[in-house]
Chain A
Amino acid sequence: MPIFWLVLIVLAIGAAGYVAGRRRALASAGGDSRHLHSLPSYYGSNVAIKAVVPAFLLMIVWLLVQPLYVSNTVSGMLPQSAIPDNSSRGLVMAEVRRAAEGMNNAVAQGLMSEEFAGNARADVADVTQRLKDAGQIVTSQVTQPILRAAQRYRVMNSTGGQMMTIAVLVLSVLGSLWGLRESQAEYRARNIVERSIRALLVGAASIAVLTTLGIVLSLVFNTVEFFRLYPATDFFFGLNWAPSFSGRGGSSDLGILPLLWGTFYISLVALVVAVPIGLFAAIYLSEYASPRIRSFAKPLLEVLAGIPTIVYGLFALLTVGPLLLGVFGDEGLGIMQAGTAVMTAGLVLGIMLIPFVSSLSDDIINAVPQAMRDGSYGLGATKSETIKQVVLPAALPGIVGAILLAASRAIGETMIVVLGAGAAARLSLNPFEAMTTVTAKIVSQLTGDADFASPEALVAFALGMTLFVITLGLNIFALYIVRKYREQYE
């Protein structure tokens, strides 16, 4: 039975359980809901929860475990002779899965009968031909062991599916019966329902946390793998970035310093652009602008934050780059060789960060109590004196936090630098030269035909890990500063 139908049936059992539980609880109180411990709908919900939640949990676990179990069993069935010399068990298993899937599709299309697909003595060539007829991609001749394994794979999967359907349905019915038995007037259904809601919320929060943990772990494992293949000192202190894909390792120089320098330089240019503009815009919006101007200027400024970074990248590549080249290129000052440069990417990145800085700073400036301003005005200070000497110093820790958050975004930004900064990794002070960043190199190391066992591809994880540690550090520092600031007025 397809999963979709199974889900629908379980939900239907839950819905029926809701109605029945509600009615039973009401009946137990003689039809007067005032004699119930909880509102009737809580009794219904209690039954529905007990019918649906355990059943779905079982289904999810089953769906996760079954493929692992089936693969392991089938893989153990494959004789050593079925695995060619230049291949691995994993690749052969992929072949088995493809064949099994192909057979499923062929059966579904009517090109192959169910008996034929399951026939252990079926002719290998015939099966291959029929699979090809059905439009299935079969890389090579399906061999006898692979066919056997694929048939076994299909059988196990279909029995597994049937068993799961039965188990889930039985659990669902049992759960609803249990819930119904409880639907008596004195039963505390409301507390149970509220506890389940809390469990749901806890579950949502832990999924978010666990995902982060998973991402970090995958980075860590691959980074460790990389450092096994490439010395860490060369990675962290190497001044040269020159990966070679042809030589398959050995001849590559994978020093992170030129990339970190590029990242740092571009972020610096971006912050030099974004911080003054964003901050001044925030001061204008929060202190000087009339409510009317503010009400349309602020959303307009925040539209900048909604532009996809790839569009900023195009803007850098097609507009800002040529513009800068016209001024600083060979026809102008002659210090710029091409449109892609630190300056191009930095300027555009800075524009992207303006709403980020201005919006956060605006909130922080608004959080400075009016009493501060009144105190200053009451002493005969002008508006600008008040802002300069009272409001900004009071908001400074928060503004520094906003700038650090903006910096961590600048460091992590990818698309603008891929398109705007060029691809050459070099250590140079000239902002009109092309440079590249850590993120841009992660993209270039992983796009295309990457062999994930080579240091040239694995270096991407080490780069990502380094970047992650840097931005995490910046974020923690920023949050620490922002929190310290908040304590002042509470």
Chain B
Amino acid sequence: MYDAPASEQKVNQQTTKISARKVQVYYGDTHAIKDVDVDIEDRTVTAFIGPSGCGKSTFLRCLNRMNDTIDVARIEGDILLDGEDIYDKKVDPVQLRAKVGMVFQKPNPFPKSIYDNIAYGPRIHGLAKNKADLDEIVEKSLRRGAIWNEVKDRLHAPGTGLSGGQQQRLCIARAIATEPEVLLMDEPCSALDPIATGQVEELIDELRESYSVVIVTHSMQQAARVSQKTAFFHLGNLVEYGETGQIFTNPVDPRTESYITGRIG
């Protein structure tokens, strides 16, 4: 189960990127997230694991305020990005989301060309001064999304015409194009076949050099392969958080052990 050498590498920088304290989330009357404290480090892949409905996706969506679009959701507690409270009234959620990008479970390319899909974010945020600049951003993002070689000859073909794995890498490239500081990934491989999953995982590992990546996954193997830190959620509680190796080999909490050995979940 625990066999990826990449995640065993020592993380050299240990600066905290996001720090959450006493986070509570309510959906109407349901208490979905209870008292979660977590520090997410820069240039690290952090995995959230746990059984379905345990709140890991909900917590992920708190980190870029995607829950704001849900009327009944209510959030308490503090979430600090680089020391600034993201739920402060001064903070514009739209700008926050440019800094904290997100990749979703199902690939969701816009019904536009591949080029326009990537250029969408930079255009909105005015990141390119001219056409040549934009071309460069698109190329750079597609290269970093590890999909450039497959699409460079058909940049103006619709993004929806790509295969599932290609679409997901396109979505990752699209998220990178706005130059976020944190990349949130909500089960990015659950709709992909093993080959495409491998490509995306490889990509995630490369992204670690420049971003803080938070990934929600149902696959414990995947968490073990790609992440350096792992957080185990259960019934809305953060049960255990630590080095991935330690969580998978020597968990402290009996619930974590039950989950990773397949007894609950």
Contacts and interface: CB of A to CB of B under 8 A. Distances in A.
A141 interface: no
A369 interface: yes
B83 to A, nearest CB: 20
A390 B123 CA distance: 13
A381 B93 CA distance: 10
A373 B95 CA distance: 16
B178 A380 contact: yes
B104 A382 contact: no
Counting chain A CB atoms within 10 Å of each CB, the highest count among B95, B97, B174, B184 belongs to B97
Given A378-B64, A379-B178, A371 B104 contact: yes
Contacts of B175: 378-379
B106 interface: yes
B31 interface: no
Given A371-B104, A393-B111, A393-B112, A376 B95 contact: no
A379 B174 contact: yes
Nearest to B123: A389
B104 A378 contact: yes
A128 B13 CA distance: 117
A381 B94 contact: yes
A324 to B, nearest CB: 42
Contact of B98 (A372, A374, A380): A380
Contact of B101 (A369, A374, A379, A389): A379
A394 interface: yes
A389 B120 contact: yes
Interface string B147-181: 00000000000001000000000010011001000
Contact of A379 (B111, B112, B121, B160): B121
B94 A394 contact: no
Contacts of A380: 94-99, 101, 121, 124-125, 178
Contacts of B98: 379-380
B108 A374 contact: yes
B69 interface: yes
B207 to A, nearest CB: 16
Interface in B56-91: 64, 66, 69, 71
B50 to A, nearest CB: 21
Q: Is the interface of A mostly helix, strand, loop or mixed?
A: helix
A377 B98 CA distance: 9
B216 interface: no
A385 interface: yes
A382 B92 CA distance: 10
A116 B214 CA distance: 103
Contacts of B106: 371
A381 B122 CA distance: 10
A375 B66 contact: no
Contacts of B120: 376, 379, 381, 389-390
Given A377-B97, A381-B94, A385-B124, A390 B66 contact: no
Interface in A340-383: 369, 371-382
Contact of A390 (B69, B102, B103, B110): B110
Contact of A381 (B64, B96, B111, B124): B124
Counting chain A CB atoms within 10 Å of each CB, the highest count among B94, B99, B106, B109 belongs to B94
B95 A369 contact: no
A394 B160 CA distance: 11
A385 B94 CA distance: 11
A87 interface: no
24 contacts: A371-B104, A371-B108, A372-B108, A372-B110, A372-B111, A374-B104, A376-B120, A377-B66, A377-B97, A378-B97, A378-B175, A379-B97, A379-B102, A379-B120, A379-B121, A379-B178, A380-B96, A380-B98, A380-B124, A381-B124, A385-B124, A389-B110, A390-B120, A394-B111
Interface of A: 290, 369, 371-382, 385, 389-390, 393-394, 488
Interface of B: 64, 66, 69, 71, 94-99, 101-104, 106, 108-112, 120-121, 124-125, 160, 171, 174-175, 178, 184
Given A369-B108, A375-B108, 10 more contacts: A371-B104, A371-B108, A372-B108, A372-B111, A377-B66, A378-B64, A378-B184, A379-B97, A381-B94, A390-B120
The list of the 5 closest CB pairs from A to B, nearest first, reads A380-B98, A378-B102, A371-B108, A380-B97, A379-B121
